[in-house]
Amino acid sequence: MRPLDWVVLLGTLGFIVTYGVWKTRGSKDIEGYLKGDNSMKWWTIGLSIMATQASAITFLSTPGQAYEDGMRFVQFYFGLPIAMVIISITVIPIFYRLKVYTAYEFLENRFDLKTRSLAAFLFLVQRGLAAGITIYAPAIILSTMLGWSLTITNLLIGVLVIIYTMSGGTKAVSVTQKQQMAVMMGGMIIAGFMVVSYLPDNVGFGDAVAVAGKMGKMNVVDFSWDWETSWDDRYNFWSGITGGLFLALSYFGTDQSQVARYLGGKSIAESRLGLLFNGLLKIPMQFLILFIGVMVFVFYQFNQPPVFFNEAAKSKVYATAYADELRGLETKYSSIFEQKQEAVQGLVTALKTEDEAAINAAATQVSSYTEAGKEVRDQVKGVIQKAVPGSETRDTDYVFISFVMKYLPVGLVGLLLAVIFSAAMSSTASELNALASTTVIDIYKRSVKQDGSPVHYLKASKLFTVAWGGIAIIFATYASLLDNLIQAVNIIGSIFYGTILGIFLVAFYFKRIKGNAVFFAAILAEAVVLYCYYFTDIAFLWFNVIGCAAVVLFGFILEGLIGKKKKELVA
Amino acid sequence: MKNHNPADEEILIGKPPFFKRWAGMYWLVLGNLAFLIILFYIITKLYE
């Protein structure tokens, strides 16, 4: 990092934090603090919703995923626009009519206190863990790449977020997310232009896309379905449109970190438009980020990529007895790349001639070199495992940041780092804000102290924002001590989301089912999801569908049994 | 909870921009999704 990069990075982050604090100073009560005085316009809500969902991992991992696996991840978002329409029609008017602060407040109105508390508790556990990971996941990558201390990186992200979230509440979160989205999208578009401009002179944009296609990276949509294998295929059209729909319904309809974004709207119309704005733009945004990853892949067909993108992990191996083995593999990798260069140029030439036989022959040759390179990369991962037991051998998260640090000019490196920090901060801010709202409204105000003044609850909200921020930083700092933590948190999320959605679905659409039935149905549904997790190979996206369907089914059965018992008692 | 007439609700909520009814906005979002899926399918087939 050179001085100009520091100026751009710190200037961008400093401006956003200062602007957020200044613009939202002086919240006098809990209404203003947790609902932003219901003053937000649709574009603020829409950008805020998008910024909340786009965490730093979106910008670090997604291009790397496209580099490795192509464009097909975009199918994961196909259910999202449908969910936006459903929530706009059904959920928003009800939340507005009841004037709720949190989604879980509605559950007491519809069922009873225990169901509200159960849903709030599940949210606090799941989101409390996720807030730590939202800080930790980018911090571990950034600290590795920049050579910073992990604790300092965690503190930098966490403390900046706490300052403006504590100061201005929901309004500060939404106002800063507008700036953060501008930085994120601006930075990514510039990075996309830069990577295309770095391609050789004889390779135009069309040639680059054609090369990517011949190497299997333009696999955007897959309609095929195999009853035996497609269930555990995470990204195809069918899992995206059904599992993705249920996941988006759960996330945007029942997760307070998103619900708070549209509850702060000036009117139902503004909130609806904000959600529909997200429904229109989310897929193109993900497509763009994935496409940048594919262009980085094409760039590395003409420029030698590192044999392993996490340079820090490689450096650790150089300090062990395995250094020579690693150097040998690197030499072998370079030699394969040199031979592959000719084949790739042959493919570009063949594509220009439009001779199908020549294109297929060249593509086959390139594929064989790619496979040979992949074998060497696997061997390198094996050496890293032997030399530094327990180290992470998945390096896709480092692909994009490694490209940024190595190839982008001075100033742009700072901007792209600002993109990643902004993304981490925008998601964390929404999470802390939602955790504080749920703790104060659903637990503290409802069950601990019911007779406090508005100022008292305002102070409590600020205190809980700082407390949850502190917990998230501590969790992020010690996260590396736990194995497979990120995976564990993702699993926890997918295990609970379906059940929470099921409770809300029953609340909205199945009025016959009452509090006791839905409460025990939720517990039984959780058992079914846990069974699927432990004893089947079903991909986690389907847990959202299964959990939700199980709550509805058990709800009907239990309501029938409870109703029958009541009739018997009356008789 | 009370049942609300969708027409009454439209009056209460107000008109969306560009369309006379909210259904127009919903069809815009769903139409955009259909368009993107078809576009992505064409891209997939064109470059495979």
pLDDT confidence band for B5 (50 / 70 / 90): low
Burial class of A534 by CB neighbour count within 10 A (0 to 12, 13 to 18, 19+): exposed
Name the stretches of chain A with pLDDT < 50.
none
Residue A507 is predicted with a pLDDT of 92
Collect all residues with Cβ–Cβ distance below 8 Å to A188 and sequence separation of at least 6. A59, A288, A289, A292, A419
Helical H runs in A24-112? 30-35, 42-53, 56-69, 80-86, 92-98, 105-110
Q: Is the dihedral of CA A553, A554, A559, A562 positive or negative?
A: positive
pLDDT confidence band for B6 (50 / 70 / 90): low
What is the value of ipTM here, to two decimals?
A: 0.86
Q: Which residues in chain A touch residue B26, judged by CB atoms under 8 angstroms apart? A: 85, 88-89, 276
Residue B1 is predicted with a pLDDT of 44
Q: Is the dihedral of CA A149, A152, A156, A159 positive or negative?
A: positive
Residue B2 is predicted with a pLDDT of 46
Higher local confidence (pLDDT), B18 or A368: A368
Question: Which residues of chain B have a Cβ shorter than 8 Å from any chain A Cβ?
Answer: 1, 4, 9, 12-17, 22, 25-26, 28-30, 32-33, 36-37, 40-41, 43-44, 46-48
Rounded to whole angstroms, how far apart are CA atoms A487 and A258? 22
Rounded to whole angstroms, how far apart are CA atoms A545 and A537? 15
| Share of chain B residues as helix, strand and coil, in percent rounded to the nearest 5 | 70, 0, 30
Residue in A503, A489, A215, A212 with CA at minimum distance from that of residue A374: A215
The mean predicted confidence, pLDDT, of chain B is: 82
**Residue of chain A whose alpha carbon sits nearest to that of B25:** A276
| Residue with token string 């709720």 | A100
**What separation in angstroms does the CA of A413 have from each of A255, A403, B44?**
34, 10, 32
Biggest alpha carbon distance in chain B?
A: 53
**What separation in angstroms does the CA of A82 have from each of A85, A308, A418, B25?**
5, 40, 32, 12
- CB spacing of B43 vs A85 below 8 angstroms: no
Other Cβ atoms within 10 Å of A5 Cβ, number: 21
Residue A476 is predicted with a pLDDT of 86
Residue in A113, A68, A83 with CA at minimum distance from that of residue A252: A83
